[in-house]
Amino acid sequence: MILDLFRLDGKVAIVTGAGRGIGAASALALAECGADVVIASRTQSDLDHVAEQVAKTGRRAVSVAGDLADLDVVRSLVSLAQNEFGRLDVVVNNAGGAIPLPFFDTTPEYLEEAFHFNVSTAHALNLAAVPLILEQGGGSIINVSSVMGRVSGRGYAAYGTVKAALSHYTRLTSKDLAPRIRVNAIAAGSTATSALEIVTTTPELKSMMEGLTPLHRIADPEEIAAAVLYLASPAGAFLTGKVLEVDGGGDIPTLDFGLPDL
């Protein structure tokens, strides 16, 4: 059956930023389809909740609470996967983000910090993970990027730039790692995560975002997780170097900060 192509029985995945939102939904989706997971985020209580949900699927989750901007913490996830499960098949680089700022507030230091958190950490994890993935004959890497990596709007100089970098990093590394490891990305649109809580709980802002999205709503984290599952599983076996645009059809920023002309 076609649904069998979405199974990940006996596989092991690492998911960063897995305490809430897209990362938590992705970890649970992978577990529901048969994978054990290594999950990481800053807050242990969030990870404990996700691990409990994973356990209900019959799979196992091991967690690391730490600062994922710390490259040593990121690299440790691969050792944990090897020690706990003896293999690694899937990496989901979901940790990232940067607060939009006006142009003059976007300092070089802030831009470098955003690049480190969104791109360098993903590369560090991939560098550590690839040898272990190759031991299994191959696998899949998924980088969670953003629609802002391809559209433009005021205030997004740092966030949009680093997400564009992550998307093109995906295309470039897919060539480096073909044919045994597939590398793809998801350009996610506005999604109802804790990062957008102030927006989704403010009627005016929520209405703005919905109105600027052709499907007239904000994504649920499970909808992004479904794309992660597709790219991780045999169902996506003929995709590499692609950026899936899971964005409700949007081609402009859905949040306008109203920044004036200089």
> pLDDT digits over 179-206, tens only?
999 999 999 999 988 777 777 788 888 8
- Mean pLDDT within 123-134: 98
83 Cβ partners below 8 Å, 6+ apart? Answer: none
- Compute the average pLDDT of residues 155-171: 98
Helix, strand, coil shares, percent, the chain, to 5: 50, 15, 35
Mean pLDDT value across residues 8-13: 98
Contacts of residue 216, Cβ cutoff 8 Å, sequence gap at least 6: 210
Indicate the average pLDDT of the chain: 96
Task: Specify the pLDDT at position 212.
Answer: 92
Residue located via tokens 């910090």: 113
Query: Mean pLDDT, to the nearest integer, of 216-230?
Result: 96
CA distance 242 to 212: 25
- Copy the structure tokens of residue 220: 């649920």
CB atoms within 10 A of CB 245: 20
The amino acid occupying position 146 is S
CA 236, 144, 166, 64 dihedral sign is negative
Q: Where are the alpha helices (DSSP H) in 107-216?
A: 108-115, 121-135, 157-177, 197-200, 203-211
Look at strands 61-65 and 90-93 and give their pairing: unpaired
Average pLDDT, integer, range 124-143: 98
Residues identified as active-site:
159
pTM for this model (two decimals): 0.96
Give the per-residue pLDDT at 129.
98
- C-beta neighbour count of 75 within 10 angstroms: 15
DSSP codes of every residue in 59-91? --EEEEES-TTSHHHHHHHHHHHHHHHS---EE
pLDDT-derived band at 44, boundaries 50, 70, 90? very high
Domain limits, the chain: 2-193+222-243
User: Is residue 22 a contact partner of residue 68, using CB atoms and an 8 Å limit?
Assistant: no
At 196 the pLDDT is 74
pLDDT of 215 over the 90 cut: yes
Burial of 115 (0-12, 13-18, 19+ CB in 10 A): middle
- Residue 200 has what pLDDT? 75
Is the pLDDT at 76 greater than 90? The verdict is yes
The two three-digit tokens of residue 162, written as one number: 């680093």
The label of the residue with tokens 């073909």 reads 178
Q: What is the mean pLDDT of residues 218-224?
A: 95
Mean pLDDT to the nearest integer, 95-110 = 96
The reported pLDDT for the residue numbered 257 is 87
Average pLDDT of 238-249?
97
Average pLDDT over residues 229-246: 98
Over residues 234-250, mean pLDDT? 97
The CATH H-level (homologous superfamily) assignment of domain 2-193+222-243 is NAD(P)-binding Rossmann-like Domain (3.40.50.720)
